[in-house]
Amino acid sequence: MSIYCGIDWAEGHHDVALAGDSGKLVAKLRIDDSLAGYQQLLELLELLAEHGDSEGSPIPVAIETGRGPARGLPAAGKTAGLCPQPVSVARYRDRHRVSRKKSDPGDALVLANILRTDADMHRPMPNDSELAQSVAVLARAQQDATWNRQQLTNQLRSLLRDYYPAALEAVASWQNGLCRPEARAILTVAPTPGKAVVINRKRLCTTLKRAGRVRGIEAEAERWLEILQRPQTRHPKLVEDALGQQMLGLLRQLDAACRTVDELAEATEKAFRQHPDCEVMLSFPGLGVQLGARILAEIGDDRSRFDDARGLKAYAGAAPITRASGKHHYVVRRRIKNNRLHNAGFLWAFSALTASGGANAHYRRRRARGDLHPAALRHLFNRMLGQLLHCLQARTLFEETAAFPMPLLVAA
C-alpha cells in the first residue's frame, strides 16, 4: 500500500497525517513549533520509516508552508510538495466535507490526499542552497524596506504639501529628493515656514556639510535660502508648530527607513556576489546587483524546480494565459503570480531599454504592434527570463547577438 504524508502548518504546532491508497487516515502526529518541535521531527521520520519509508522508496510529503520544523524535511532527504495557494486547499477540502468547517488535523489529511490524487499539478519545494536562501532573506527584506521607505516618503510629501510647499519645491530637482540626507537634515533644522524664514546661510552651509555634501555647498545653501524665504501662505502659528512636530516624527521614521535600506542593500550585495550565479546574471543588460539578488531570491538555484522556461515564465506572471469557452477565445495577463519576481522583472525590462539595443528594438516592435507600455515591458521580460534560465542552465554569459539576432536585411 502506498502512503502519502500531509503537514498542516499553524502558529503553535504542525499536524501530520498519513493517508493510504483509499485516502483514509493511517496515522497522525502533532509537532510543536518550538525547539522541542525540531526534536519531534525525528519522531516524524521514525513514523514514516514504520510505514515503509526508505532511501530507495521515499514517502512523498506535502506541506502547507516551508516555515517552522517542516523546513528540516528537505535536509532530511524528503521530497516535499508545496501547496502555494490556500484557495486551492480550500477547494480540495470541499470534496471531503460539506460543512465548510476546517480543522488542522483535517487539513493535514487534505494535503496528503492532494499529493495522492494530483501530485503532478504542484511544484516540489525547491532544494536551494544555503547561500541562495540567505540571499533570499536579505533581498526580500531590502525590497520590503524600500517599499516601506516609499510609503513614508509619500506620507511626508502629502504633509508638506499641506503646510510647507516650499520644501517640496526645493527638492523637486533631486531624484528621490526627500530621501536625500541633505533634504532631511535641512528639514530637521527648519521644520516649519516660520523657522525657515529666520534661518541664515551659515546655518544652511553647516547643515549641508554635516549631511555629507562636499561640493557646491555655498550655491546649494543660497538656492535653499532663496526658496524657503519666499512669501507663502501659512497656517496659524500653533497649528503650524503642531504640523512641524508631526513632520519631524515622520522624518525620524524616514531616517531609520533610509538607513535600513542602505544597510540591507550592502548586505545583499555582499551575499549575492558570493553566489556562483552572480556572474551570469550580471552579464544581462539592465540587471544590477539588487535586481539580480531579487530575481535569484525568487527563482533560487535549484535547477530542477522548473521543467522548462514556460513554467518559470508562468510563475513570474510574464507569460499570458489563454482562455477559451465556446466561441469566445481571448488571451489575458496572469493575475496569480509571484508578485516579487513580477515587480523585479518590470524594473529589469525597463532598465534594459537603455542598456541593450536589441531589447529596445524588441520593445519598439511590440509597441508598433499595438501593445501598451506595460504589455510591451511584460513581453520583453518574458523573453529575457527565458534567456536567463538558458544561460543559468548552460553556465554561459549573455550575448547580445544571440539573444536578439539582427534581421538579415538590416545586417546586409
- Indicate if the pLDDT at residue 97 is higher than 80: no
- Greater confidence (234 vs 412) lies with 234
**Residue-averaged pLDDT of the chain:** 86
The average pLDDT across 147-151 equals 95
Cα 209 → chain centroid: 36
Q: Which of 178-182, 322-326, 365-369 has the lowest mean pLDDT?
A: 322-326
List CB contacts of 352: < 8 A, sequence separation 6 or more.
Answer: 284, 285, 286, 287, 359, 360, 380, 384
Angstrom CA distances, 228 to 155, 176, 191, 194, 232, stand at 21, 19, 11, 10, 9
Please say if the pLDDT value at position 412 is more than 50: no
Q: Which residue has the cell 517552522?
A: 68
Cell 522541542 found at: 36
pLDDT surpassing 80 at residue 153: yes
- Cα(351)–Cα(332) distance, integer angstroms: 25
Grid cell of 285 as nine digits: 543588460
Whether pLDDT at 196 is above 60: yes
Is 188's pLDDT higher than 80?
A: yes
For 355-410, the pLDDT digits (tens) are 999 999 999 999 999 999 999 999 999 999 999 999 999 999 999 988 888 764 45
Task: State residue 347's pLDDT score.
Answer: 95
Q: In the predicted model, what is the mean pLDDT of residues 168-184?
A: 90
- pLDDT for 268-296, tens place per residue? 999 999 999 999 999 999 999 999 999 99
Mean pLDDT, rounded, for 156-170: 93
Region class of 397: left (phi > 0), else alpha (psi between -120 and 50), else beta? beta
Classify residue 380 by its DSSP letter: H
Taking a C-beta distance cutoff of 8 angstroms, is the pair 125, 66 a contact?
yes
Q: Where residue 185 falls among pLDDT bands split at 50, 70, 90?
A: very high
Q: Grade residue 66 by pLDDT with cuts at 50, 70 and 90.
A: low
Q: Concatenate the DSSP letters of all residues of 146-161 into one string.
A: HHHHHHHHHHHHHHHH
Query: Residue 2 — very low, low, confident or very high, per pLDDT cuts 50/70/90?
Result: confident
- Percent pLDDT > 70 in the chain is 90
Dihedral in degrees, nearest 10, Cα atoms 295, 296, 298, 304: 130
Sequence-ordered alpha helix ranges (H) in 173-236: 181-189, 193-197, 201-210, 217-228
Greater pLDDT, 326 or 269: 269
